[in-house]
Amino acid sequence: MKQPDHIIPRDQHTVSRKDISDSALKVLYRLNKAGYDAFLVGGGVRDILLGLNPKDFDITTNATPEQIRALFRNSRIIGRRFKLVHIMFGREVIEVATFRAHCDSNIQQAKDGMILRDNVYGTIEEDAERRDFTINALYYNVRDFSVHDYCNGLTDLRKRQLRMIGDPETRYKEDPVRMLRAVRLATKLGLTIEEKTLEPISRLAHLLEQIPAARLFEEYRKMFLAGKGEAMFEALQTHGLLSKLFPATEQLLAAHPDFESFIQAALENTDKRIASDNTVNPAFLIAVFLWQPLLERAHQLETKGHSYNDAFFKSMGLTLAEQSQFISIPKRYSLVIRDIWAQQIRLPQRHGKKVWSVLNHPRFRAAYDFLVLRAESDPSLREIADWWTKFQDADKAEQQAMLPKNRRRKVKRRRKPKNKD
Ligand code: ATP
Ligand code: MG
């Protein structure tokens, strides 16, 4: 029997079970065994076809969330815009979604075309159509090892091009985050954005203003903590999206080439850390992006009569508050950002007890890294950065020798009580 054109048999594609995590396979098998259709979809299939290691596995099925939940004890239903089931296997989470319809009268749309709620189940064909890019709408069926391709995703993958399903402008209006996803996926995977998919982006960039700041924080993480931050920053600039995410940063770039090279150095450094499996805190790059805006505002406050320290600390709060209107920064990260910044004032003051409190500060390492990166584009900071590089690795005696004034004061103070005894 001849298969329909959109079904590609196992010998004509490169997806194989050995590339799929055991947990994802377990979920697929169990859903199949219970009589449901179940497919691996999205980034998982796309990345395997590109010869990459998927970062996570998404599954889609005709079982409802309640039916899925009933099959897996280790699962929970989560629901924001659309109900999903998370199945937990230790630290790995497999996300299972029910086929979703796209253009249904039940979809609530705002006047400008943005989808507000679309909790409507559909067929696999409908599910494919409501996905964003053709290469994200490939389905792997573990029952017969075939790949279902309803939107010509395989052709686009071969051409290494990112193409929106349907009319790009309409799809960006429905969900403006798709513009960020286009730029992110093209950068991450080294794909060209197809002409019609690319064209509306800079024109519609302003629609990102409607997106909740919390969602944009999640997108920020995906864009900058996936190992291609430097290219990402450049792509966002090119497509006019950076000004919608970090407006204060964007505004100052042209006038401050040293700020731009500081950002570049930080991004390069972050990418290297990720490549060698070092941890990266999402706060660090935000602290970098907002550094010049912080200084500018501090300077303005100073001219209004505030002391330098006062102006700097006031500016920290104002700069973070302003940025949070665009990308919300969870408290645990804004605290880190404040610490990194505050230490920039303390690091140059190398005398007295302050040196030890700076060195023992929980954020010393991040603050020091920040200083070193600043020094790369500001030669006047090199001496201080080098001093700290040497100081932190020196033994106690060497450290004391690096603090001549401090030592004299300490000796005096210590001797007094001893003499009294
Ligand atoms: P990665 O996980 O590597 O960042 P991904 O494409 O898997 O990339 P997810 O956020 O995991 O991204 O989404 C899984 C799939 O869900 C996508 O491949 C796509 O088919 C669909 N999808 C995600 N976000 C959207 C969106 N905003 N509009 C339409 N479809 C989307
Ligand atoms: Mg994914």
Sequential DSSP letters for 234-249: HHHHHTT-HHHHSHHH
Does residue 56 carry a catalytic annotation? Answer: yes
The per-residue pLDDT for 42 is: 96
CA 161 from chain centre, in angstroms, equals 22
Please tell me the predicted confidence (pLDDT) of residue 220.
98
9: how many CB neighbours lie within 10 A of its CB?
A: 11
Residue 194 is assigned to a structural domain of this protein: no
Out of 53, 58, 211, give the residue to mutate to test ligand 1, the one with the largest number of ligand atoms within 8 Å of its CB: 58
One domain for residues 151 and 225: no
Is the CB of 179 within 6 Å of ligand 1?
no
* 285 and 379 co-located in one domain: yes
Phi, psi (rounded to 5 degrees) for 315: -65, -35
Q: What is the pLDDT of residue 105?
A: 45
What pLDDT was estimated at residue 354?
85
Do 144 and 227 fall within a single domain? Answer: no
Average pLDDT (408-418) is 47
Angstrom distance (rounded) from CA 410 to CA 89 = 56
Domain with residue 353: its CATH number is 1.10.3090.10
- Kindly give the distance from the C-alpha atom of residue 94 to the centroid of ligand 2, in angstroms, as a whole number: 10
By mean pLDDT, which of 48-62, 113-127, 387-401 is the weakest? 113-127
Q: Which of 19, 47, 118, 132 is catalytic?
A: 132
- What is the pLDDT averaged over residues 359-380? 95
Q: What one-letter code names the amino acid at 65?
A: P
Cα of 165 vs centre of ligand 1, distance in Å, is 13
Domain check: are 40 and 140 in the same one? yes
Whether the CB-CB separation of 287 and 340 falls below 8 Å is answered with yes
User: Is there a single domain that holds both residue 261 and residue 125?
Assistant: no
Q: Please indicate whether residue 258 is annotated as part of the active site.
A: no
Overall average pLDDT of the 330-349 stretch? 96
The domain tally of the chain equals 2
* pLDDT tens, residue by residue, 76-106: 999 866 789 999 999 999 999 999 986 544 4
Indicate if 239 and 150 belong to the same structural domain. no
With a cut of 50, say whether residue 420 has pLDDT above it. Answer: no
Tell me, in angstroms, the distance from the centre of ligand 2 to residue 337's CA: 29
Within a domain: 197: no
Residue 132 in contact with ligand 1 by CB distance below 6 A: yes
Domain end marker among 132, 165, 198: 165
Section 177-204 average pLDDT: 98
Q: Do 29 and 121 belong to one domain?
A: yes
pLDDT for the residue 404: 56
Query: Quick one: pLDDT band at residue 413, thresholds 50, 70, 90?
Result: very low
- Of the candidates 239, 136, 222, 243, the residue with the CA atom closest to the CA atom of residue 183: 239
Report CA(42)–ligand 1 centroid distance (Å): 6
pTM of the predicted model as reported, rounded to 2 decimal places: 0.90
What 3-state DSSP class applies to 191?
coil
Does residue 201 lie in a domain region? Answer: no
Task: Select from 167, 156, 169, 157 the least CA-distant residue to 202.
Answer: 169
Give 338: exposed, middle or buried? Use CB within 10 Å, 0-12, 13-18, 19+. middle
Residue 6 has what DSSP assignment?
T
Predicted pLDDT of residue 405? 57
Tell whether 334 and 267 lie within a shared domain. yes
For 271-300, write each residue's pLDDT tens digit: 999 999 999 999 999 999 999 999 999 999
351 burial level (CB within 10 Å; 0-12, 13-18, 19+): exposed
pLDDT higher than threshold 70 for residue 2: no
Kindly indicate the confidence band of residue 110, based on its pLDDT and cuts at 50, 70 and 90: low
Specify the pLDDT at position 407: 44
Q: What is the pLDDT of residue 107?
A: 52
Count the Cβ atoms, other than its own, within 10 Å of residue 113: 14
The answer to the question of residue 47 being in a domain is: yes
Domain range for 89: 1-165
Task: Give domain status of residue 89, yes or no.
Answer: yes
In this structure, is residue 418 part of a structural domain? Answer: no
**Position 67 in a domain:** yes
Q: Which pLDDT score is estimated for 403?
A: 83
Residue 39 pLDDT greater than 70, yes or no: yes
Give the span between the Cα atoms of 402 and 398, in whole angstroms.
6
Averaged pLDDT of the chain:
91
Give the CATH number for residue 4. Answer: 3.30.460.10
Among 137, 165, 193, the domain-final residue is: 165
Does the CB atom of residue 153 touch ligand 1 within 6 A? no
Q: Tell me whether residue 237 is exposed, middle or buried, using C-beta atoms within 10 angstroms of its C-beta: 0 to 12, 13 to 18, 19 or more.
A: middle
395 is catalytic: no
Q: Which of 19, 47, 58, 271 is catalytic?
A: 58
Q: Which residue's C-alpha comes closest to atom 15 of ligand 1?
A: 42
Q: Over 90: is that where the pLDDT of 1 sits?
A: no
Whether 100 is covered by a domain: the verdict is yes
With pLDDT > 70 as the criterion, what percentage of the chain qualifies?
90
Supply the residue whose CA is at minimum distance from atom 16 of ligand 1: 42
Indicate if 120 and 17 belong to the same structural domain: yes
| Band (71; pLDDT cuts 50, 70, 90) | very high
